[in-house]
Structure 1
Amino acid sequence: MILNVNIGQMPIQLDMKANLSHILNMMGQIEEGELLILPEAALSGYDHDLRFLDQIDVNQLQDSLDHLTEQVKMRKVHLIFGSSLRENEKWINAGIYLSPDGNMEVYRKVNLATHERNAFTAGSQLPIFNMETNQGVVRFGIQLCREIRFPEQWKFLSMEGAQFIAYLTNVISVDSLPVWKSHLISRAAENQRFILGSNVADLNQGCPSIVVSPKGDVLEEIISDKVALKRVQIDLSSVSNWYLDQSRTDVVKIKSDITR
């Protein structure tokens, strides 16, 4: 199965209207049936000083989500992006999938950064999402930012049947760039999955926006402070369980204890 994917990066501001405009502009550059990946907090914006959450207009956020949902449905595209979301009077750091049929799926960040833990509520599941395409169903997972450092989560998603993992981040730290890129190559090669990653556009990017193949080959990457969009055609038949099936489960076993 062939899938056309687009990795996009944009400056992310504490200005939801500006963020929404960037997202819509990028959606306008992709073709019907294609997938667009955008960074962590692409809609809501993000700041290390988490008091920014107190300034979010929840009604504006919901209106923006509704507008994106309608635009995705009208354009018949697939969109994965990040945003803070308000659920049950609490904030979550979310990865969101909007599908052409108008549905919204949400991944709630499981492994929050230490400074996030008093402001966000951590998720408790690593779900697999289904993407309906003309060629069949594609299965995928989402990981956010520092979860790059927890390979067991990526292995779990792969064992659960993810064919690609969307990696959404918002990291600005020039010193971390080679390390985080290496992490993504390892996550792809050790699990034999495609990694589709998007980071914020910034002079001091701490991680590239990137597409990595199941062999660990970098198919595309963006390291820039500019708005950018790259299209890559990926062949999902190259996804494999060859290494996963060789895991010594008598020594270490990764399994789910979540009741479905």
Structure 2
Amino acid sequence: MKIAALQMVSGIQLQSNLAQARQLMEQAASLGAELVVLPEYFCAMGARDTDKIAYCEAFGVGPIQDFMARAARELRLWVVAGTLPLQADDAQHVLNTSLVYSPQGDCVARYDKIHLFRFDNGREHYAESDVVQAGAQPVVCDIKARNGEVWRLGLSVCYDLRFPELYRMLSAQGADLLLVPSAFTHTTGQAHWEILLRARAIENQAYVLAPGQGGVHENGRRTWGHSLLIDPWGEVMALQASGAGVVLGSLSRERMQQVRQQLPALTHRVL
């Protein structure tokens, strides 16, 4: 099954970001991809964190969700809308939500980001919980390739990557492909991004697909990019360092089984 991570450098304007997302989805489809995954906040990186509140949507209703459903249906793709802001329990917060759409345009899975980023090194300061309400439930979902193979997705977002217990739970539920749509900062990405992604692949003997925001944004923020596809042995199969683009690769059931058979670490778990 061919899959693609779509790297973006999203700006402030919603419609221009959606147009770029559509262009990248069309490019991936033309290359044979059956599943495409957009990065965190593909729809907009606002001038301020609170801008998310202005374009958040109720689950199942809104122009961003309508756009994603239509694109999935028209391009006959499985589409993971990296994240978009959905309404939370109060008007001062949003949920940072990843949605999975079938090639028929149906939303078949929803994951609300559980772990909320906080970072302060004296020069950069981020506190996601100021605007985002945390989710609570790990989510897996099955997708069917055109050849009939079923692959189980394990959903996660960005800062979740630092919490291996989440991925162990997804693995225990049978996840074959771990998704990590992200907007890693340049500082933290340069230090930790690839090593954490490869670790999640190695310890769970699963594929990892991680589409990122990658560049300098209109709001002045700089994201790390380096969107990756990693195999169950921890080898990087495809990468794009910066700028918008398509990171394409193929899943192989035989490769995953080979890794799990030659080093049956998942069966050796004690705790």
1:243 lines up with 2:265 in the alignment? yes
Distance 1:8 1:159, change over 3 A: same
Give ranges in structure 2 of 5+ residues lacking alignment: 119-126, 217-221
Map residues 168-247 of structure 1 onto 2, 5 A cutoff.
168-174=181-187, 176-202=189-215, 204-224=222-242, 226-240=243-257, 242-247=264-269
Distance 1:58 1:124, change over 3 A: closer
Distance 1:57 1:246, change over 3 A: closer
Match of 1:120 among 125, 132, 135: 132
Letter in 2 for 1:68: M
TM-score, L = length of structure 2: 0.83
Map residues 33-112 of structure 1 onto 2, 5 A cutoff.
34-43=34-43, 45-47=44-46, 49-56=48-55, 58=57, 62-80=62-80, 81-87=82-88, 89=90, 91-104=94-107, 105-112=109-116
Residue 172 of structure 2 corresponds to: 159
Q: Distance in 2 between matches of 1:132 and 1:67?
A: 22
Residue 258 of structure 1 corresponds to: none
Q: Distance in 1 between matches of 2:186 and 2:28?
A: 30
Letter in 1 for 2:151: V
Give ranges in structure 1 of 5+ residues lacking alignment: 250-260
Distance 1:84 1:230, change over 3 A: same
TM-score, L = length of structure 1: 0.86
Q: Give the % identical residues.
A: 20
Residue 28 of structure 1 corresponds to: 26
**Is the 8 Å Cα contact of residues 181 and 207 (structure 1) preserved in structure 2?**
no
Which contiguous aligned blocks of 4+ residues in structure 1 show a shift greater than 4 angstroms? 87-90
Letter in 2 for 1:158: S
SS at match of 2:154: strand
Aligned residues: 244
Q: Distance in 2 between matches of 1:62 and 1:47?
A: 18
**Is the 8 Å Cα contact of residues 144 and 151 (structure 2) preserved in structure 1?**
yes
**Is the 8 Å Cα contact of residues 163 and 194 (structure 1) preserved in structure 2?**
yes
- 1:207 Cα deviation after fit: 5.0
